[in-house]
Amino acid sequence: MDIHINNILNDLKKDNIQAYLLTKFTNVEYISNYKPTSFAFCIIKENPIIYVSSMDMEIAKNNSSIEIKEYESFEVMIGELKAEGIKSLAIEPTLPFSTYEKFRNDFSIESKNYVDKQRMIKTPSEIEKITKATEIAQKSFLDLDILNNANMENEVAFDLVRLMIENGAEKESFDTIVTSGANSSLPHAIPQAKKLDQPILIDWGAIYEGYCSDNTRTMVYTEKQQEIWDIVAEAHDKAIKAIRPGLKCCEIDKVARDIIIDYGYGDRFIHSTGHSLGLDIHETPGFSLRDETVVEKGMVITVEPGIYIEGEFGVRLEDTVSISKRGNVIGDLPLDIV
Amino acid sequence: MDIHINNILNDLKKDNIQAYLLTKFTNVEYISNYKPTSFAFCIIKENPIIYVSSMDMEIAKNNSSIEIKEYESFEVMIGELKAEGIKSLAIEPTLPFSTYEKFRNDFSIESKNYVDKQRMIKTPSEIEKITKATEIAQKSFLDLDILNNANMENEVAFDLVRLMIENGAEKESFDTIVTSGANSSLPHAIPQAKKLDQPILIDWGAIYEGYCSDNTRTMVYTEKQQEIWDIVAEAHDKAIKAIRPGLKCCEIDKVARDIIIDYGYGDRFIHSTGHSLGLDIHETPGFSLRDETVVEKGMVITVEPGIYIEGEFGVRLEDTVSISKRGNVIGDLPLDIV
């Protein structure tokens, strides 16, 4: 049986739980190679099964490595589980409350992150896909003649996505951010139908064979912008250099944060230093203030410090780091791209 | 105070609950006009408040009609609610289990769909935005010269999105489906890097001022394809004609389903007849087998019967219907567009 499923069965045994219910699309995909498009109830037990929406039966039949069955109703599904003698169920932390409510009368329920835990450590094949996604995204960025086009923000975003698809991406890995001028102080700015102003901040990524990439570059023009850029670049570089297995995630966050604090901008670094990525653009663990997870070989985590000065501008610089004995930046796009 | 908030306060009073916690982005947007980009805890009580992520403070300050406060930690937030004497909390059915777990020790908790219930009935201004989104999407479809371009599926999808943005959309309202040939039997097909085959099924929509549109057209070429198209068109037309306030949603589903069953394709109509839309592309209620909701004036629901013949092709035809004394199709794109 598949190693991922075996790991879950071992976790279940250890915790004395009989089955694990998965409904999150990327978790079902991770375990079965079938990514739901509507809904699915994947039950990992000695004989794993996925209850599949009628809409998805054809795609599930063609892709799932696990036995599938057409979903009829909650009653039927719960009846079948009970008939097998299942009384205890582990669920994902993200399970919607209303779904939990439908199970809680018939099963003892505990929330477990068995799959998230496995997904933290990427296999070489997963790292290859993230690398390929990054290469596509970075090549597309270079293909994009941003500065010679006096374009609208949303057109630049659009052109970048088109280039990524032409270069082999399935799609963008999140809503592409192209923001400029004062709006760049919003970490999750939405590209506007307005001409590019200064500075220009672009946060973008591709999906390749299901796996995400994530980068940010900021092009600065004034002395003040350059001064902030230099601080962010120092935080970016030193955090990456500090990464090694055995440290806690929060210690890497602290390296970046302390540099920005020292320069007096601590209160303008308004998010975490980074997040894991893979099948999802945001996975755990993250380089954040409170994340005590120990860094391990095989993790892939972004490093993306930023400084945001409300009403003026923002600067963020982001690379994705694959961790072996140290942190290796994926891709080779220079930080100072202009 | 805002009518939406007043309605929630009345619901809370009736159910003898002190506060309602909202975290779903579109629910927070519906109530406050601020759409979170990271996370937010919106608490509706006599003095409503939103605990906002530091990342979102600037955007929340500029948009929220409700008092905001920077989120520090769960402990601080829960401490403040308890200090106000709050002991009972309503939550959204979609709340992730892990968030529920953090509240359940300090509050009695019930799941309530107060906001979803309000969102079922659209205001004239909401219907205007859905109409504008539909007009943009339909104009873009007509601007797209599909048949004179021997394009790849994913390029056509891409061109359609670009046209929607040029025509004033914020973005696509869901991943645009352009599928053809045998793949069209997958209701949620992903556009491929392959030349358009026959038939061609396009399911697309725009977002305008936050509001979604949704349409599907299928262009058929063979006699067999035309035969199936005619059945689906009959189901589409008759279901729309049947819509009126007072009927149950499942009765409208039955109108479409019975026609397809009569022609012998009942088991190939593998999804519901339609879903509501608004700030989200899928809202409740829906025209489905089991939805007993009574149709009311102000609802906006799609009608999208389909027949999917595995290994051969699929046909789906979809319009969005705004309900007054009867069902009025939004937009004016003919069903037989070729």
**Tens digits of per-residue pLDDT, A61-117?**
999 999 999 999 999 999 999 999 999 999 999 999 999 999 999 999 999 999 999
CA–CA gap between residue B228 and residue B244 (Å, rounded): 27
Peptide bond into B285 cis (omega under 30): yes
CA–CA gap between residue B301 and residue B284 (Å, rounded): 9
**What confidence tier does A2 reach under pLDDT thresholds 50, 70, 90?**
confident
Kindly report the nearest CA distance between residue B325 and chain A, in angstroms: 32
| Residue found under tokens 């009653």 | A75
Kindly report the nearest CA distance between residue A294 and chain B, in angstroms: 22
Which among B192, B270, B273, B313 is the top mutation candidate for probing chain A, defined by the most A β-carbons within 10 Å of its own β-carbon? B270
Q: What is the pLDDT of residues A114-130, one digit of tens each?
A: 999 999 999 999 999 99
Which among A22, A59, A92 is the top mutation candidate for probing chain B, defined by the most B β-carbons within 10 Å of its own β-carbon? A59
Residues 22-81 of A with CB under 8 A from B: 37-38, 54-59
Residues A193 and A247 in one domain: yes
Q: What pLDDT score does B146 carry? A: 74
Over range A259-285, report the average pLDDT: 98
Residues A246 and A318 in one domain: yes
- The residue from A120, A139, A172 where one domain ends is A120
CA–CA gap between residue B37 and residue B52 (Å, rounded): 10
CA–CA gap between residue A179 and residue A185 (Å, rounded): 9
CA–CA gap between residue A317 and residue B81 (Å, rounded): 38
Residue type (1 letter), B143 = D
> Is B170 contained in some domain?
yes
Backbone φ and ψ for A26, nearest 5 degrees, come out as -70, -25
CA–CA gap between residue B229 and residue B265 (Å, rounded): 12
A98 CB-contact burial (10 Å; exposed 0-12 / middle 13-18 / buried 19+): middle
Kindly report the nearest CA distance between residue B47 and chain A, in angstroms: 26
Over range A158-181, report the average pLDDT: 94
Average pLDDT over all residues of chain A: 96
Number of domains forming the structure of chain A: 2
Partner B contacted by A188 (CB < 8 A): yes
Residues A291 and A143 in one domain: yes
Backbone φ and ψ for A248, nearest 5 degrees, come out as -90, 150
> Is B336 contained in some domain?
no
Among partner residues A97, A165, A171, which is closest to B95 by beta-carbon distance? A97
Kindly report the nearest CA distance between residue B225 and chain A, in angstroms: 20
Rg (CA), chain A: 22
Residue A103's domain comprises 3-120
Q: What share of chain B is helix, strand, coil (3-state, %, to 5)?
A: 40, 25, 40
Q: What pLDDT score does B338 carry? A: 66
> Is A336 contained in some domain?
no
Cα dihedral across residues B53, B57, B61, B67: positive or negative: positive
Partner A contacted by B190 (CB < 8 A): yes
Is the pLDDT at A155 greater than 70? The verdict is: yes
Residues A321 and A203 in one domain: yes
A106 CB-contact burial (10 Å; exposed 0-12 / middle 13-18 / buried 19+): middle
Residues B308 and B175 in one domain: yes
Q: Which residues of A touch B170 (CB under 8 A)?
A: 190
**What confidence tier does A30 reach under pLDDT thresholds 50, 70, 90?**
very high
Domain harbouring A153, CATH code: 3.90.230.10
- Say if CB B169 and CB B139 are below 8 A apart: no
Partner A contacted by B335 (CB < 8 A): no
Structure tokens at B314: 């699929």
- Say if CB B306 and CB B226 are below 8 A apart: no
Which among A27, A34, A53, A58 is the top mutation candidate for probing chain B, defined by the most B β-carbons within 10 Å of its own β-carbon? A58
Q: Which residues of A touch B104 (CB under 8 A)?
A: none
DSSP A59-105: HHHHH-SSEEEE---HHHHHHHHHHTT--EEEE-TT-BHHHHHHHTT
Residues B237 and B219 in one domain: yes
A34 torsion bin: left (phi>0), alpha (psi -120 to 50), beta (else): beta
> Is B335 contained in some domain?
no
Partner A contacted by B92 (CB < 8 A): yes
- Say if CB A252 and CB A295 are below 8 A apart: yes
Residues linked to residue B255 through DSSP beta bridges, in sequence order: none
Among partner residues B96, B271, B310, which is closest to A93 by beta-carbon distance? B96
Q: What is the dihedral of CA B256, B261, B265, B270, to 10 degrees?
A: 50
Residue type (1 letter), A257 = R
Residues A227 and A261 in one domain: yes
Over range A139-152, report the average pLDDT: 82
**What confidence tier does A151 reach under pLDDT thresholds 50, 70, 90?**
confident
CA–CA gap between residue B166 and residue B172 (Å, rounded): 12
Residues A241 and A194 in one domain: yes
Which among A54, A110, A194, A208 is the top mutation candidate for probing chain B, defined by the most B β-carbons within 10 Å of its own β-carbon? A54
Q: What pLDDT score does B148 carry? A: 66
Backbone φ and ψ for A145, nearest 5 degrees, come out as -90, 70
> Is B315 contained in some domain?
yes
CA–CA gap between residue A90 and residue A68 (Å, rounded): 20
Partner A contacted by B179 (CB < 8 A): no
Q: Which residues of B touch A167 (CB under 8 A)?
A: none
- The residue from B119, B137, B161 where one domain ends is B119
Backbone φ and ψ for A14, nearest 5 degrees, come out as -60, -40
**Total residue length of chain A:** 338
Q: Which residues of B touch A93 (CB under 8 A)?
A: 96-98, 101
> Is A94 contained in some domain?
yes
Q: What pLDDT score does B87 carry? A: 97
Among partner residues A100, A155, A188, which is closest to B55 by beta-carbon distance? A188
Spell A54-79 as b/e; 16+ CB within 10 A means b.
Answer: bbbbbbbeeebebebbebeeeeebbe
**What confidence tier does A150 reach under pLDDT thresholds 50, 70, 90?**
low
Among partner residues B56, B93, B171, which is closest to A97 by beta-carbon distance? B93
Structure tokens at B146: 């599909």
Domain harbouring B69, CATH code: 3.40.350.10
DSSP A229-290: HHHHHHHHHHHHHH--TTSBHHHHHHHHHHHHHHTT-GGG--S-SEEE-SSSSSEEEEE-TT
Residues A113 and A160 in one domain: no
> Is A32 contained in some domain?
yes
Q: What pLDDT score does A338 carry? A: 67
CA–CA gap between residue A287 and residue A279 (Å, rounded): 18
The vertex-A231 CA angle with A225 and A232, nearest 5°, equals: 85
Give CA separation, B204 vs A14, A189, B166, B178, B234, in Å. Answer: 47, 25, 15, 8, 21
Nearest to B141 by CA among B186, B205, B190: B205
Residues 6+ apart with CB under 8 A from A264: none
DSSP state of A55: G
| Residue found under tokens 């102003």 | A197
> Is B337 contained in some domain?
no
Partner B contacted by A209 (CB < 8 A): no
Structure tokens at B226: 């035309």
- The residue from A120, A136, A169 where one domain ends is A120
Q: Which residues of B touch A308 (CB under 8 A)?
A: 58
Over range A259-277, report the average pLDDT: 98
Query: Helix, strand or coil for residue A44?
Result: strand
- Give the rounded distance of the alpha carbon of B278 from its chain centre: 6
First to last CA, chain B: 51
Which ipTM was obtained for this model?
0.93
Among A75-89, A137-151, A295-309, B36-50, whose mean pLDDT is lowest? A137-151
Starting from the edge strand earliest in sequence, which strands make up the sheet with B67-70, in order? B67-70, B49-52, B40-44, B19-22, B88-91, B108-111
Residues linked to residue B108 through DSSP beta bridges, in sequence order: B88
Nearest to B303 by CA among B272, B326, B324, B270: B272
Q: What pLDDT score does A213 carry? A: 98
Q: What is the pLDDT of residues A38-50, one digit of tens each?
A: 999 999 999 999 9
Residues A103 and A142 in one domain: no
C-beta atoms of B188 and A38 within 8 A? yes
CA–CA gap between residue A219 and residue B313 (Å, rounded): 48
Residues linked to residue B109 through DSSP beta bridges, in sequence order: B89
Residues B112 and B158 in one domain: no
Q: What are the per-10-residue average pLDDT scores of chain B (338 residues)?
A: 91 98 98 96 97 96 97 96 97 97 96 97 98 98 78 89 93 96 94 92 98 97 98 98 98 98 97 98 97 98 98 97 98 90
Over range A236-257, report the average pLDDT: 98
Residues B27 and B169 in one domain: no
Backbone φ and ψ for A270, nearest 5 degrees, come out as -100, 25
DSSP state of B325: S
Partner B contacted by A171 (CB < 8 A): yes
Partner A contacted by B158 (CB < 8 A): yes
Q: What is the model's pTM?
A: 0.94
